[in-house]
Structure 1
Amino acid sequence: MVVDLNADLGEGGGHDEEILDYVSSANIACGWHAGDADTMRQCVLWALARGVAIGAHPSYPDRQYFGRTEMTIAPDAVYAGVLYQIGALQAIARGEGAKLRHVKPHGALYNQAACDDALAAAIVSAVRVADPTLSVVGLAGGALVRTARAAGLKALDEAFADRRYRADGTLVPRNTAGALIDDEAQALAQVLRIVRDGSLATLDGASLAIHADTICLHGDSEHAVAFARLIRLELGRHGITVAPCPPAPP
């Protein structure tokens, strides 16, 4: 049994280098919600040194609210913005002898693309133009991964170690009580249940079937490194290998 663990980097959480010791993929902020050229390059170098797969983490243009504010932007503008951000990280990675493996939208862009076919199509189009061998990471079972597969791209269904879910498979909004899991044991239990059983408990206590190719460990939370260390150790104890998802064929 194999699973990919990913973390969002370059967002100012202060744990980037440490958390890379425990994950197999890194989603690097591309400047629109956090980060800049220097942080992108530093994260690329850290990931390269550890053999961690590198991906772009594009966002809405929203540094003020960290990319977590829902926006209504024309699909053409979303396409251009995502392509721009991927291209920036591609150039920096290429300069260090690295290649991007995936693209995972951030925050509100991620959540809206899980439910909005037009928005998902704009993101997928940008990925395909940037590099059709890039995998698209999106909420498990959502519109983004479905659209990517329909377009012939490789898509990775993602689940979260530290987020609660609603019965329809969407994430509980961060401003809702109980949305975040800040207890190590609960986060570990959720990850193990997702990987071994293909299910999780929703916020209201129901059982939700879920398939996950990759699991996100948020790198900017207070417990980020402790969560990552514990989850990586316990996955190994249960015979589960942590490794990047295989790249799409050229």
Structure 2
Amino acid sequence: MASAPQQPQLPLFFNDLMPLNSNDHKNFRTRSLDSAPWLSKAHAIPLTVDEFVQSQRHFPIVFSSGDNPLPLALMGLNEGVNTFVDDAGKVTEQIYLPAYIRRYPFMLAKLSQDADELSLMFDPSSGAVGEFEDGERLFDDEGKPTDATNRVLEFCQHFEGAAQRTQAFLTELKDNGLLMAGEVAIQREGVEQPYIYRGFQMVDQEKLRELSDEKVLEWNKNGILMLIHAHIYSLELMRTIFARQTSQGKAPQPEAAA
């Protein structure tokens, strides 16, 4: 259910990556889109720890399986199901949209594996960046970045900082053995067999209670304990998301839930 949502070479949502530069893209603009079809089938969205408190009001927060877990906000419980976005890619209600979504089609990345610095990249297939008549220019007549480009760059830089804090948080969880394989059973009225969801990780609350007083005090001071509690509280929304799927006619067969 919650394996890290990435393609083999490109991050989630990205079909291509191109470095933004004033020579090739001097006349390019960025514009807002009325819909995001690429989001309609995305059920698990990467999340940073900076967003846990806001996200836990709307989505279950889990961790992907594997040795390098990633926090995920579940907008649906099954592959291809997003209960907050219609088939046309329009968000159906007011919710917190994770920064990973709002960052697209831009991101910071290395131009090569041995590069020291990150460069601002974009997905040319997104429909949000190009030589349009409308939208905000990315470069002025002198080829210098405009305010629009600087805002995008600043947002991406903040995202990278949050990603580093997220990795530090995950290191603490792993070093203290707090992540365990998750499983949720949901019984639907009128269906004999329960829906079993696996394939994700969650905090082991028993091991959390066994932490030393010194570690609890440390995590209380640096905010880690608050993040763990946000994750734990958010798990109650698993059944809420399942109910949304059911009301939208998107509930799977019980044996297909895992």
TM-score (normalised: structure 2): 0.27
When Rg is computed on C-alpha atoms for both structures, the one with the higher figure is 2
TM-score (normalised: structure 1): 0.27
Task: Identify the structure with bigger relative contact order (alpha carbons < 8 Å, sequence gap 6+).
Answer: 2
Question: Higher helix share goes to which structure?
Answer: 1
